[in-house]
Amino acid sequence: MYFFRKGLKSLGRSVRGVLACGLMMAGIWQASAAGVDLQRSDITVYGKDSISICENALPLKYGDTTFFPGTKSGVYNVRFVTGQNSDSIVRLTLRVMASYKVYDTLKLCQSDLPFLYGSTVISATTPVGTHARILYMKTVEGCDSVIFLQLQVFASYSKEVQLAVCENEFPFRFGGREITTAGKYAIPLQSKDGCDSTIRLEVKTKPTYRRNDTVRICESQLPYLYSGKWYTDGGDYLVQNISVQGCDSLTFLALRVYQYPVVKDTLHLCQSAFPYRYGTTLIMDKGDYDVKLRSKEGCDSLVKLTVVAEQSYRVPLYLHLCTNDLPYEYGDRKIVDTGHYVVNLQSIYNCDSVVDLHVTIGHPNFTSFVDTICWGETYNRRGYNIPFSPFNEYFIINGRKPAANTEGCDSNFTITVRIMPVYEQNDSLLICDGDLPITRHGMVFMAAGNHRVRLQTIHGCDSIINFCLQTTQTYHFTRTEHFCAGTVYKVGDSSFNKAGRYHVAMRTKGGCDSIVDLTLIMDDRAPYTPGQIYTKKDLYETDKHTFWISSVPNASFYRWAYTNQNWLPIGSTNDYVFALRNLLDGDTGTVSVMAGNACGLSSVSRIKVQVTALSEAENDHNIRVYPNPANEKTVLDLDGMAASAVELRDMSGRLLLVLPVTDSRVEIPLQSYSAGYYIIRITEGRSVLKTLPLIKQ
């Protein structure tokens, strides 16, 4: 049925003309055959002829033969009587051309309309459903044919879907697209009938939880129930739960089981320490005891305790000291001279004991030295190699000469090593940018920034100054301000009561000179009330709406307001253009505006808003996009529609291309775009006149 759908136009030659021509040729032949020799009746003349005829033009009378409907193409011998008792035979080549009666079924989506079937246009207003139509066409040979067409029109859908997904369920696939984060998506699909449809998907995230929990129990508390599950031993477990929102949640459980087996302990007590309390048990004398205790975790334990009784001691001791050892501490006594001392001590088991101490004193020789090093250096002098320690400002080395003097004391010396500081200080300075270059810390600085300056102290130790030099900019800018007649406008230390242009010198907070070229405009009254508020609904961005007014001559600012609490402002290109978002079909409310200047505000101008979508069926123009699907380019035929621009957008509404309309045909290049679904929007100023789907192959 290919040639039917392409259109059966300008068929070939007329069948009736062919038939008439054939009959005329037969007549001519008959006349010529009869003219051979009419006086001879026994002559049979043979000739040839060919006829093409449509099947529905039968029956055909030719010579003495009638060709009835159903006759097939072929070669036939037809008898003509050319004279009395004289026959003529024509060898006729008959070509019977078919006339068709065809039954066809055509399935279309609403987005495919209008559709050209042969020479018949199926209108864009054809409703969804099944329609029976009879179409009359001609074959290429010019024969009448009838097509009984079963037309099925299927709907194209646009549906909004909200989906709440747990965090750990990302990514997932929806309609062949991978969803990785929450948000709004426009997903092109096909309905069960194969028609393009769009799912406006809003994905929200439900949280999943992860937490750590540590539980400490005694061994006697096993098995232990946690979150509906029994545990028979300690360890680290991964516990899976379901939150109230139905999302998987994980708990990392650290189950700690405390075991307190029977332990042994030995306790040494002095005789004077009895009675002695061990836990809740009172110990009266040495021996073995079974003591029951409870740990800080509340677990029972048993201690096998052995108690040993220890004695107190009194011992003599002789001690020889040198004077450089004094004062000398021994036990609880401080030794400062020769003599006998009674020292109270404790044994290794803390039992009171007495030492009879006899002390003699000798006198050593003594020498003192003083050395210096820088912070961070190793001391490597007088036979010592001592690494640097950051915890002291100095340290002392006490040494002895290996040979003892006559009193039995070594010759002593002391080295005091002083650590000289190495400084790292921070310094900052804020200056005006016109004060550069500047000299500080013995160096010249040409630009602002962080500088590292190296110096030396009087002890020869390196020091560092981290110098942060900052500059404050000197400004020269212009301002235009409004003030009301009869008032004074102040800027800095200057006051003005007349309109005009002024050159004002000021200082910044950093103390730097700045210049303001000030233009003052005097308003003698509040501005006029704004005129009509204009607005136009955007067809495919139903959640956006723009309002605008003509600018008020004496207004320096505008205040917009709206009553629907669901609407949200999205900013504007200037004060007298205002935009809202989150508007949905069916919303109602009021948008108002006031103009203002330094003298006050105008009265309010209002507009009532009811959001509705404009149907594309209201446009009567026969606009076509061909080819569609397209590869490298497509052509938009506007059919006389008054439009200013043509936009190409993707399925998410992102603007890809804008072409001005200078003719009724607009060529749209597609080489730089990937295969997929697109939207063509025809606009006039701020208005969207029509939208059309486009498929890029």
> Dihedral (C-alpha) 451, 457, 460, 461: value to the nearest 10 degrees?
-60
Q: How many residues does the chain have?
A: 697
Largest CA distance in the chain: 193
Least Cα distance to 586 among 519, 537, 651, 647 occurs for 537
How many degrees, rounded to 5, is the angle at CA 20 between CA 15 and CA 23? 125
Domains identified in the chain and CATH numbers: 1-155 (no CATH), 158-206 (no CATH), 210-258 (no CATH), 263-310 (no CATH), 314-362 (no CATH), 366-420 (no CATH), 424-472 (no CATH), 476-523 (no CATH), 534-610 (2.60.40), 616-696 (2.60.40.3080)
| Cα–Cα distance for residue pair 379/337, rounded to 1 Å | 36
- Residue for token pair 């006149």: 689
Q: What global pTM score does this model have? A: 0.28
**DSSP H/E element including 239:** strand 235-242
| Dihedral sign (CA 126, 129, 135, 139) | positive
In this structure, which amino acid lies at residue 667? Answer: E
Who contacts 109 (Cβ-Cβ below 8 Å, separation ≥6)?
153, 154, 155, 156, 193, 194, 195, 196
Q: Pick the closest to residue 145 from 136, 157, 153 (CA basis).
A: 136
In the predicted model, residues of the chain with pLDDT beneath 70 are 1-45, 82-86, 261, 297, 324, 391, 401-408, 410, 510, 536-544, 571-574, 612-621, 652
Task: Give the model's pLDDT for residue 83.
Answer: 62
Phi-psi region of 176 (alpha: psi -120 to 50; beta: other; left: phi over 0): left
Neighbours of 642 (CB within 10 A): 10
**Confidence at residue 21, expressed as pLDDT on a 0 to 100 scale:** 33
472 forms beta bridges with 432
Residue 172 gets the label, from left (phi > 0), alpha (psi -120 to 50) or beta, of beta
Cα–Cα dist 18/162, whole Å: 70
Residue 32, pLDDT score: 34
Angle at 685 between CA 679 and CA 688, to 5 degrees: 35
- Tally of CA atoms within 13 A in the half-sphere of 19 that contains its CB: 16
Does residue 323 contact residue 331 with C-beta atoms inside 8 Å? no
- Which residues in 226-255 are b (16+ Cβ under 10 Å) and which e? beeeebeebeebebeeeeeeebebebebeb
Tokens of residue 133, six digits? 């139509």
How confident is the model at residue 6, as a pLDDT?
32
d(CA 83, CA 35): 10
Helix, strand, or coil (residue 273):
helix
- Residue 546: closest CA among 567, 526, 516, 518: 567
DSSP per-residue codes, 34-48: HTS-TT-SS--EEEE
In angstroms, the CA 358 to CA 354 distance is 13
The confidence score (pLDDT) of residue 23 equals 34
